[in-house]
C-alpha cells in the first residue's frame, strides 16, 4: 500500500469488484436466500448494484439476526444453505449485481443447548485437550475451574438441592457415532460430562468438569472469558491466531474464490486483539476485496490509514447528514425543556462519565478486575514495581477507562506507539489524574507506560507476554465500556434532542453547516473514496426518517416546548406520579418522530421500544433488576396517549404544522446520502419513509412486492401520492444515476465539487468523472427560510432534472426556478460542450464570484 496514493490505497485490488450502491437485506426465517432471489427484479429496477447480506453462516437456533454464529463450516440452514446462497449469487451476477456478506470475526454464540456450537462443546467436554482449546479468549488448564457458564437461575447450592440439574443421556448432534452419551441438563441447557466422572455423586461430578456452572449474576464479577461487550451469550474468539482465522474463514473464502461472494463487511473489528492484523490477513486472502469495517469513529477521529479497507460502514456520514438539517437555534429552548422534565444540567460530559462509571462497576466489572489482576501479576513479578497495590492499580484502570474518549487507541505490542495514540493515552491520563489521590499518581504513570509498551520497572522487560496481553486487553475493554457506557446508556439518558444520540453520533454538535459538510465530503473523497455511506442500519436507534422528524423539533423549538406542556396538561390525570423525567422526554420526542399523517405507530411497537430504552437508561429499571410495576405504569400511560382525543388532536396539528419541514428534511437527507462520496447503502425498506425504532423493531419484514408494484406505477408516470412515494421516486432516480455514472461516484476518477449558493439554506454539489461534472444534487435545509432570490451556480452544460424532466442551463440559476415545488433537485448532464476538466474550473470560478 505504501506505493499508492491515499485514495487508491483504499480501493479494491485489480479484478476485485467495487460496489456502487448496496441494499442491506436482514436475512432470517422471513427473508431467506430464495426470497431475496425472487425480489431481484425489483432491486435491479430500483437501481441497486450490490446485495448486502446479513451474516450467512449457521447461527444459534431461533436467531433473528445471524450475529450469533455457532458453526463456521456451514451456511445457515434456515436461510436455505449453501445451494440456495449459490443460486442467489448466480441470479444476482446474471443481472450484473454483486454480493456483499457480513462477517462476524469477534465472537461465537453460547447457545442452549451448548452442543449447537461444536467448538464450544468440545472445549467444555475436553478442556485443554480439545482441539478448539485455543479458540476462546480464556486460559484453560487442569488446575483451574474452567470456563464459567453463568446460566443458573439461582445459586449452585440451591440448584443442586432442588433437583433442577440432572444427569441424563442424549445423542449429541455431530457426534451421532458415539451413540447415547451422558449430559448435564438444566432446563433448555445441556452440557457435556468429562470422561471418567459419570459415576460420581452429582455435586462431585459438577465440580470435576472443565467448566463451572454458576448463578447468572456471578457473570458480571467473575466471568473468565471475553464477551461481546457485556453479552454473556456471545463468547469472543482468538481470530488473531492464524489457525483460528483459517478455520473460521475457510468457508467464506471458498465462497469468495468460487465467485459466489464479491466483498465483505466486517462486524466490530475494535473487539479484536489486532484489528489491523486481522484486516491485513483478510485483504491478502482475498487479493484486495472491497471491505468495509464497522468502525465507530468519534466526532473528528480518523480511520487508521494503515488499515487495508475501503472505509467504515458509514455512521460518520449518517450523523453529519442528519445534523445538517438540525437548526442550532433550537438548542437553548430544548435544553430548557430537558432540564424542566429531567433535572439534568446541559452537560453531556457529566452524563457520559456517570454512565461509564456505572458500567465499570456493574456489567463490565469482571473485565476491569481481569485487567487489574493482569497488572498486579506484572507488578508482583518485578521487584521495582511490587509496591503498586492491587487497589491502586484498579483505581487507575477505572479512571483511565472512564476518561478514555473513544473506542480504542491502536497500540500494537512490539511496535512503537503511533504519536496520535500516545498523545491520546497521555491526555486521557491527565483527565484520570484529576480523579485520583496524589498517592496514586506514580501508579498511574507506571500503568500508562505499560499500556504504551514503554520500559517500566526493571530494564529489558518490555517484551514479556503478560505486558503485551495487557496492552491488547486494555484497548478491548475501552471499546466495551464506550459502547455500553456511551451509546447504550448515556445516549438513552441524554434527551436534549434524541435524534442526535445515534450510533457513532456526536450530540454535542447541535447542527452542522454546509461548509463543514463539504469539507468532510472533500476529505472523504480524497482519502476514502469507496467508504460506505449509511442512513439507516440494523443497529441505528431510530431510522433516518424518524431522526428527520425529531430533528425538525429544533426548527420549531419554542412551539415544541409549548406543545409538550399542552400534552402534559391534557394527560396529567393519566401520568404516573413516578414517571421518570428522562423517559418522559424521550417518549414525547419518539411520538413526534413516529406520528405521521396516518397516526401513531402500534402500541406494542411503542411500548416495546420504551421498555428497552428505559432499561438501557439504567436509571430506574434495568435488564437485570426490572421494576415491573413502574414499567407497567409507563407502558399503560404510553398506550393511553395513542388514543387520547386531545393528544391525537395536538399531534395532528403538529404533523400538519411541520409537514413541509419534514418533507424538506427527509428528501434532502435522502438525496445527499445518495450523492456524497462513497458507496451508498440503502437499508431494506427505507426507500420509502419508515417509522422504525431500535432493533428488533427495525428488523420487521418489508413488503418488497408492494414496493415493486408502486415503483412500476411511478415509472409509468403516476405522480407520487405523498412523501412515501416521493422518497421512493427520488431513491430510484438517484440509484439509477449512480449505476449509469459509476465513475462519478466511486473509484479513482470520481470527483466531488461543492457548488456555490447565495444562501446557507441550500446545499449543492456536483459529482464528476474524468470528463467533468455529470450529476448535480441540490437540497434545501432548515424550515421556511430559503430566500426567494437565492441562486446556485450550475456547471456548464445542459442539465436535465431526473425527477421532473425539466432542463436547465449551466450558470447562475434561481433556486426557486430550479426546484419549483420540490425541496430537492437531481440533475444529469445532457450535453458536454467543454473540454475535460472545464466544468470543475467553472464551478470553482463561480464559487469565487459568489464570495
For residue 220, what pLDDT is reported? 85
User: For residue 17, how many C-alpha atoms fall within 13 Å in the half-sphere facing its CB?
Assistant: 21
8 Å CB contact between 61 and 116: yes
Residue 3, pLDDT score? 42
Where are the alpha helices (H) located in 602-690, listed in sequence order? 603-617, 628-643, 645-673
* 135: DSSP letter: T
How many whole angstroms separate alpha carbon 746 and alpha carbon 683?
19
Q: Are 307 and 274 in contact, with CB atoms under 8 Å apart?
A: no
Q: Are 148 and 223 in contact (CB under 8 A)?
A: yes
Best CA proximity match to 77, nearest among 34, 108, 138: 34
* H, E, C per residue of 768-804: EECCEEEEEEEEECCCCCCCCCCEEEEEEEEEEECCC
Assigned CATH for 16-105+239-312: 3.20.20.80
| pLDDT given for residue 833 in this prediction | 42
Which pairing describes strands 263-266 and 98-103: parallel, antiparallel, or unpaired?
Answer: parallel
How much is the pLDDT for 669? Answer: 98
> To which H or E segment does residue 698 belong?
none
Task: Determine the pLDDT at residue 844.
Answer: 31
Contact between 664 and 5 under an 8 Å Cβ cutoff? The reply is no
Q: Cβ atoms within 10 A of the Cβ of 10, count? A: 23
Kindly state the average pLDDT of the residues 543-567: 98
Ordered DSSP codes for 108-129: EE--SSGGGSHHHHHHHHHGGG
Do 92 and 40 form a contact (C-beta atoms < 8 A)? yes
Q: Check pLDDT > 70 for residue 840.
A: no
Closest CA to 751 of 728, 718, 727, 776: 776
CA atoms of 420 and 4, how far apart (whole Å): 22
Dihedral sign, Cα of residue 437, residue 438, residue 443, residue 444: positive
Contact criterion met (CB below 8 Å) for 651 and 600: yes
Which of 3-12, 252-261, 628-637 has the least mean pLDDT? Answer: 3-12
Confidence of residue 786 (pLDDT cuts 50, 70, 90): confident
Q: How confident is the model at residue 145 (pLDDT cuts 50, 70, 90)?
A: confident
Q: Which of 721, 769, 719 is nearest to 741 (CA)?
A: 769
Average confidence (pLDDT) over 803-821: 96
pLDDT tens readout for residues 681-698: 999 999 999 999 999 999
Quote the distance between the C-alpha of residue 483 and its chain's center. 10
The reported pTM is 0.94
Length of the chain: 851
Average pLDDT, the chain: 94
Cα–Cα distance measured from residue 682 to residue 541, given in angstroms and rounded to the nearest whole number: 16
| pLDDT attached to residue 229 | 65
Is it the case that residue 849 has pLDDT exceeding 80? no
What pLDDT digit, counting tens, does each position of 62-83 carry?
Answer: 999 999 999 999 999 999 999 9
How is domain 751-850 classified at the architecture level of CATH?
Sandwich (2.60)
Tell me: pLDDT of 146 over 90.
no
Nearest to 236 by CA among 402, 25, 480, 32: 480
Residues of the chain with CATH 3.30.1590.10: 114-236
Residue 232: the pLDDT is: 73
Q: In whole angstroms, how far apart are CA 742 and each of 45, 314, 639, 668, 746?
A: 16, 19, 48, 21, 6
DSSP for 732-770 reads HHHHHHHHHSHHHHSSTT-EEEE--BS-TTEEEEEEEET
Distance CA 279, CA 266 (A): 9
pLDDT in tens, 413-448: 999 999 999 999 999 999 999 999 999 999 999 999
Q: Are 53 and 101 in contact (CB under 8 A)?
A: yes
Q: In angstroms, rounded to a whole number, what is the distance separating the alpha carbons of residues 780 and 671?
A: 10
Which segments of the chain belong to CATH 2.60.40.1180?
A: 751-850
pLDDT of res. 233: 83
Cis omega (within 30 of 0) for bond into 836: no
Q: Give residue 461's pLDDT.
A: 87
Angle of helix 723-740 versus helix 645-673 axis, rounded to 10 = 10
pLDDT tens by residue, 572-594: 999 999 999 999 999 999 999 99
Residue 6 has what pLDDT? 55
- What is the Cα–Cα distance from 381 to 385, expressed in whole angstroms? 8
Cα–Cα distance, 629 to 626 (Å, whole number): 9
Share of the chain above pLDDT 90, in %: 90
pLDDT at 226: 78
For residue 329, the model assigns a pLDDT of 96
What's the pLDDT at 466? Answer: 94
Decide if pLDDT at 143 tops 60. no
Sign of CA dihedral 350, 354, 355, 360: positive
Q: Render pLDDT for 449-508 as a digit per residue (tens, 0 to 9).
A: 999 999 998 888 888 999 999 999 999 999 999 999 999 999 999 999 999 999 999 999
Q: Which three cell numbers stand for residue 284?
A: 491478502
Instruction: Map residue 639 onto helix, strand or coil.
Output: helix
Per-residue pLDDT for 813 more than 90? Answer: yes
Residues with Cβ within 8 Å of 564's Cβ and at least 6 positions away in sequence, in order, are 337, 341, 588
The yes-or-no verdict on residue 2 having pLDDT over 60 is: no
pLDDT tens sequence across 529-550: 999 999 999 999 999 999 999 9
Q: Is the peptide bond before 192 cis (omega within 30 degrees of 0)?
A: no
pLDDT of 630 strictly over 50? yes
Question: From the centroid of its chain, how far is CA 276?
Answer: 19
Residue 578 CB neighbour total at 10 angstroms = 11
As separate numbers, helices (DSSP H) first and strands (DSSP E) second, the chain gives 30, 24
Q: Is 216 exposed, middle or buried (0-12, 13-18, 19+ CB in 10 A)?
A: middle
Looking at the chain, which residues constitute the CATH 3.20.20.80 domain(s)?
A: 16-105+239-312
Lowest mean pLDDT among 359-368, 646-655, 833-842: 833-842
- Decide: helix, strand or coil at residue 27: coil
Mean pLDDT along residues 371-400: 96
Coil, strand or helix at 387: coil
Cα distance between residue 248 and residue 225, in whole Å: 19
The answer on pLDDT for 841 being more than 50 is: no
Look at residue 219 in the predicted model and tell me its pLDDT.
87
Cell representation of residue 26: 436482514
First to last CA, the chain: 39
3: number of Cβ within 10 Å: 6
pLDDT in tens, 276-307: 999 999 999 999 999 999 999 998 899 999 99
Between the alpha carbon of residue 262 and those of residues 99, 100, 449, 685, the distances in Å are 5, 6, 43, 23
Rounded CA-CA distance 755/816 in Å is 16
Q: Does domain 114-236 have CATH number 2.40.30.40?
A: no
Amino acid at each position: 500500500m505504501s506505493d499508492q496514493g491515499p485514495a487508491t490505497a483504499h480501493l479494491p485490488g485489480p479484478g476485485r469488484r467495487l460496489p456502487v450502491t448496496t441494499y442491506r437485506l436482514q436475512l432470517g426465517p422471513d427473508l431467506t436466500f430464495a426470497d431475496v432471489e425472487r425480489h431481484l427484479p425489483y432491486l435491479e429496477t430500483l437501481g441497486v448494484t450490490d446485495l448486502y447480506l446479513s451474516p450467512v453462516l449457521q447461527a444459534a437456533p431461533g436467531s433473528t439476526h445471524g450475529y450469533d454464529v455457532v458453526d463456521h463450516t456451514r451456511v445457515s440452514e434456515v436461510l436455505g444453505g449453501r445451494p440456495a446462497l449459490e443460486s442467489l449469487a448466480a441470479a444476482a451476477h446474471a443481472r450484473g449485481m454483486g454480493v456483499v456478506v457480513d462477517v462476524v470475526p469477534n465472537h461465537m454464540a453460547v447457545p442452549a443447548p451448548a452442543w449447537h456450537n461444536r467448538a464450544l462443546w468440545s472445549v467444555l467436554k475436553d478442556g485443554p485437550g480439545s482441539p478448539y482449546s485455543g479458540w476462546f479468549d480464556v486460559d484453560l488448564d487442569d488446575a483451574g475451574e474452567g470456563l464459567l457458564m453463568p446460566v443458573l437461575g439461582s445459586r449452585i447450592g440451591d440448584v443442586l438441592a432442588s433437583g433442577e440439574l440432572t444427569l441424563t443421556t442424549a445423542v449429541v448432534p455431530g457426534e451421532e457415532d458415539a451413540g447415547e452419551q451422558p449430559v448435564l441438563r438444566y432446563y433448555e441447557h445441556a452440557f457435556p460430562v468429562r470422561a471418567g466422572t459419570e459415576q460420581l455423586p452429582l455435586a462431585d461430578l459438577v465440580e470435576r468438569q472443565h467448566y463451572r456452572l454458576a448463578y447468572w449474576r456471578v457473570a458480571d464479577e467473575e466471568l473468565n472469558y471475553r464477551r461481546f461487550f457485556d453479552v454473556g451469550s456471545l463468547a469472543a474468539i482468538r481470530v488473531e491466531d492464524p489457525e483460528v482465522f483459517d478455520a473460521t474463514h475457510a468457508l467464506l473464502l471458498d465462497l469468495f474464490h468460487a465467485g459466489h461472494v464479491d466483498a465483505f463487511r466486517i462486524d466490530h473489528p475494535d473487539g479484536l486483539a489486532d484489528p489491523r492484523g486481522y484486516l491485513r490477513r483478510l485483504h491478502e486472502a482475498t487479493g484486495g476485496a472491497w471491505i468495509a469495517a464497522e468502525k465507530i469513529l468519534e466526532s473528528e477521529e480518523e480511520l487508521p490509514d494503515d488499515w487495508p479497507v475501503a472505509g467504515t460502514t458509514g455512521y460518520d456520514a449518517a450523523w453529519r447528514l442528519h445534523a445538517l438539517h438540525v437548526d442550532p437555534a433550537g438548542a437553548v429552548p430544548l435544553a430548557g425543556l430537558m432540564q424542566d422534565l429531567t433535572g439534568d444540567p446541559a452537560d453531556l460530559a457529566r452524563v457520559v462519565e456517570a454512565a461509564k462509571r456505572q458500567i465499570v462497576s456493574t456489567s463490565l466489572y469482571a473485565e476491569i478486575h481481569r485487567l487489574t489482576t493482569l497488572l498486579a501479576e506484572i507488578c508482583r513479578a518485578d521487584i521495582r514495581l511490587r509496591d503498586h497495590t492491587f487497589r491502586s492499580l484498579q483505581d487507575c484502570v477505572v479512571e483511565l477507562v472512564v476518561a478514555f474518549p473513544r473506542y480504542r487507541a491502536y497500540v500494537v505490542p512490539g511496535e512503537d506507539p503511533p504519536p496520535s495514540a500516545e498523545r491520546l493515552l497521555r491526555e486521557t491520563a491527565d483527565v484520570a489524574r484529576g480523579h485520583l489521590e496524589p498517592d496514586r499518581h506514580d501508579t498511574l504513570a507506571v500503568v500508562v507506560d505499560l499500556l504504551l509498551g514503554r520500559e517500566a520497572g526493571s530494564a529489558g522487560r518490555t517484551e514479556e507476554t503478560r505486558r503485551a496481553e495487557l496492552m491488547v486487553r486494555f484497548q478491548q475493554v475501552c471499546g466495551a465500556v464506550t459502547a455500553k457506557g456511551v451509546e447504550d446508556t448515556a445516549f438513552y439518558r441524554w434527551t436534549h434532542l434524541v435524534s442526535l444520540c445515534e450510533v457513532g453520533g456526536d450530540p454535542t454538535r447541535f447542527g452542522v453547516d454546509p461548509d463543514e459538510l463539504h469539507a468532510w465530503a472533500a476529505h472523504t473523497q480524497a482519502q476514502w473514496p469507496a467508504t460506505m455511506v449509511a442512513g439507516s442500519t440494523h443497529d441505528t436507534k431510530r431510522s433516518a426518517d424518524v431522526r428527520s422528524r425529531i430533528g425538525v423539533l429544533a426548527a420549531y423549538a419554542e412551539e415544541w416546548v409549548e406543545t409538550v406542556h399542552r400534552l402534559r396538561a391534557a394527560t396529567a390525570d393519566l401520568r404516573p406520579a413516578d414517571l421518570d423525567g428522562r423517559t418522559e422526554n424521550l417518549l414525547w420526542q419518539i411520538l413526534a418522530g413516529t406520528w405521521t399523517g396516518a397516526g401513531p405507530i402500534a402500541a406494542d411497537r411503542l411500548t416495546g421500544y420504551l421498555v428497552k430504552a428505559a432499561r438501557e437508561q439504567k436509571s430506574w429499571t434495568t435488564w437485570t433488576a426490572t421494576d415491573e410495576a413502574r414499567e407497567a405504569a409507563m407502558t399503560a400511560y404510553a398506550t393511553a396517549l395513542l388514543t387520547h382525543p386531545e393528544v391525537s388532536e395536538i399531534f395532528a396539528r403538529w404533523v400538519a404544522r411541520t409537514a413541509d419541514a419534514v418533507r424538506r428534511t427527509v428528501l434532502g437527507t435522502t438525496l445527499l446520502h445518495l450523492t456524497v462520496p462513497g458507496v451508498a447503502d440503502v437499508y431494506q425498506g427505507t426507500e420509502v419513509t419508515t417509522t422504525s425504532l431500535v432493533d428488533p423493531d427495525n428488523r420487521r419484514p418489508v413488503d418488497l412486492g408492494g414496493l415493486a408494484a408502486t415503483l412500476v406505477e411511478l415509472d409509468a408516470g403516476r405522480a407520487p401520492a405523498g412523501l412515501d412515494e416521493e422518497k421512493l421516486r427520488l431513491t430510484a432516480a438517484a440509484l439509477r444515476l449512480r449505476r449509469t455514472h459509476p465513475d462519478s461516484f466511486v473509484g479513482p476518477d470520481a470527483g466531488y465539487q461543492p457548488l456555490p449558493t447565495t444562501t446557507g439554506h441550500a446545499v449543492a454539489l456536483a459529482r464528476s468523472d474524468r470528463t467533468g461534472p455529470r450529476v448535480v444534487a441540490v437540497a434545501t435545509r432548515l424550515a421556511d427560510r430559503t430566500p426567494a432570490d437565492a441562486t446556485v451556480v450550475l456547471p456548464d452544460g445542459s442539465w436535465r432534472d431526473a425527477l421532473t424532466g425539466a432542463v436547465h442551463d449551466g450558470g447562475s440559476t434561481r433556486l426557486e426556478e430550479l426546484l419549483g415545488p420540490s425541496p430537492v433537485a437531481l440533475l444529469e448532464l445532457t450535453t458536454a460542450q467543454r473540454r475535460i476538466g472545464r466544468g470543475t474550473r467553472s464551478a470553482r470560478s463561480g464559487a469565487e464570484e459568489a464570495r
